[in-house]
Structure 1
Amino acid sequence: MFDQQIISAIASAAAAMSLWEVAAVILALAYLVLAMQEKISCWYAAFGSTLIYTFLFWDVSLLMESALQVFYLVMAVYGWWQWQHRNENGETLEINVWPLRTHLLVLAGVGILTLGFGYLLQSTTDAALPYLDSFTTWGAVVTTYMVTRKVLENWIYWLVIDAVSIYLYLDRELYLTALLFVFYVVLVVFGFIRWHASYRQGQAVPA
């Protein structure tokens, strides 16, 4: 019975949603699938999806999420450049890992920024769910940079951020976007497995 209610709610939302949200969702899925395969074309899909979401999130008062999309636009260009750029040895960027100390510093920084901006939004704006909005925003800022640098652990970060985002979007009645993030949670697991295998293969190749 409960499952049927969820399906009915999603169907109703799908009927009422804009074609812009449909386009953003399709492009966002294309980005993730292409990124899993390390295809540089993923950044074109990311740019298109991000441009649409910039306006969609502003329209539903997710102010930090809307601001995040501007950062995503810049990162889409930066990621495209990083993935196609070759170093002095003619080599493209390879999958790599960050040391534990770097992760601890990043997590501390995201925590401080979440509390600070969450309080600021709660005190000075009518932003919805300000602390969750801030957490997903600043977490995504760091994690998107990790993707541009092909840092393996980005998939673990995305798993947490996407799971929290599902609740955030359900609360704002962006049902199709919430459903997209359910797919994300599943796909990031496969993304991690694929990148991890590629990383191990690269480590096994003699220098």
Structure 2
Amino acid sequence: MLDTILSGAIEYAQTMSHWETTAVLLGVAYLVLAMRQSQWCWYAAFGSTAIFSWLFFDVSLVMESALNVYYLAMAVYGWLAWRNGASDKPDLSVQRWTLNQHGLAIGSVVLISLISGWLLTNNTNAALPYLDSFTTWGAVLTTWMVTRKVLENWLYWVVIDAVAIYLYIDRGLYLTAVLMALYVVLAIGGYFLWLKDYRSQQGLPEPA
């Protein structure tokens, strides 16, 4: 199995799309800038997702392609939200969700993923419909969490990106799979950076 993946990755690297390379670089820029809470992250997000929308459609990842169209809209919304903040807070700050909010969010993602996975299985030629649905709906929720600066978005991304690694390897998008692996590492770093900022906002002491 590992030999097959490695040989496929080498072959793919020789014919790698310049568009995918550009999308990956912009994707990395987005995450690094988001970790620093820089509004420039949304510019990188818009460029990256515009390219990925076409790439995923080309390899029959229907839900992933649709997801990136949503990302385009969220890039615009995120830019506005981070610039203007909430109505009662001129500067949008890092916040946390309660356990009930997380339970509702996770349960909703699982339920809608099962429904859309079943619909795709029975009505389309979509590849890996249940995994495709899970990463899609999970990312829909988590992207919105990023626009509202919900701290736990980074933990959600760790799970979603880990699942996406397998999804993209199966579809032959090896560079994108590598991007997802990098995202997992960066998401962990992003969580601790935002946690530090959250503690500062709340006047909480740093852990020993």
TM-score (norm 2): 0.93
Match of 2:173, as an amino acid?
A: L
Q: Give the deviation of 1:4 after TM superposition.
A: 7.5
Match of 1:104, as an amino acid?
A: G
Match of 1:67, as an amino acid?
A: A
1:157 aligns with 2:153: no
User: Which residue number corresponds to residue 49 of structure 1?
Assistant: 48
User: Which residue number corresponds to residue 200 of structure 1?
Assistant: 199
Structure 1 ranges of 4+ moved more than 6 A: 2-5
Query: Structure 2: how far apart are the matches of 1:7 and 1:185?
Result: 20
- Cα gap change, 1:108 to 1:7, in 2 (>3 Å): same
- Cα gap change, 1:78 to 1:9, in 2 (>3 Å): same
- Cα gap change, 1:102 to 1:70, in 2 (>3 Å): same
What are the residue-to-residue correspondences of 1:1-207 with 2, within 5 Å? 7-87=6-86, 91-204=90-203
> Which range moved further: 149-158 or 80-89?
80-89
Q: SS at the partner of 1:150? A: coil
Q: SS at the partner of 1:94? A: coil
Please give the per-residue CA displacement for 1:173-197, whole angstroms capped at 9, x wherever unaligned.
0000000111111111100010000
Please give the per-residue CA displacement for 1:79-135, whole angstroms capped at 9, x wherever unaligned.
000001045667310000011101100111101101000000000000000000000
Match of 1:175, as an amino acid?
A: Y
Query: Structure 2: how far apart are the matches of 1:175 and 1:126?
Result: 21
Query: Structure 1: how far apart are the matches of 2:170 and 2:87?
Result: 49
Match of 1:198, as an amino acid?
A: D
Match of 1:142, as an amino acid?
A: L
Q: Give the deviation of 1:14 after TM superposition.
A: 1.7
Query: Structure 2: how far apart are the matches of 1:87 and 1:99?
Result: 19
TM-score (norm 1): 0.94
Q: Give the deviation of 1:12 after TM superposition.
A: 2.4
Query: Structure 2: how far apart are the matches of 1:90 and 1:129?
Result: 42
Query: Structure 1: how far apart are the matches of 2:49 and 2:193?
Result: 25
- Cα gap change, 1:116 to 1:36, in 2 (>3 Å): same
Q: SS at the partner of 1:91? A: coil
**Unpaired runs of at least 5, structure 2:** none
Query: Structure 2: how far apart are the matches of 1:95 and 1:79?
Result: 14
Please give the per-residue CA displacement for 1:149-205, whole angstroms capped at 9, x wherever unaligned.
000000000000000000000000000000011111111110001000010011008
> What is the aligned-residue RMSD (CA, Å)?
1.6
Q: Number of residue pairs matched?
A: 204
Q: Give the deviation of 1:17 after TM superposition.
A: 1.5
- Cα gap change, 1:60 to 1:89, in 2 (>3 Å): closer
**Unpaired runs of at least 5, structure 1:** none
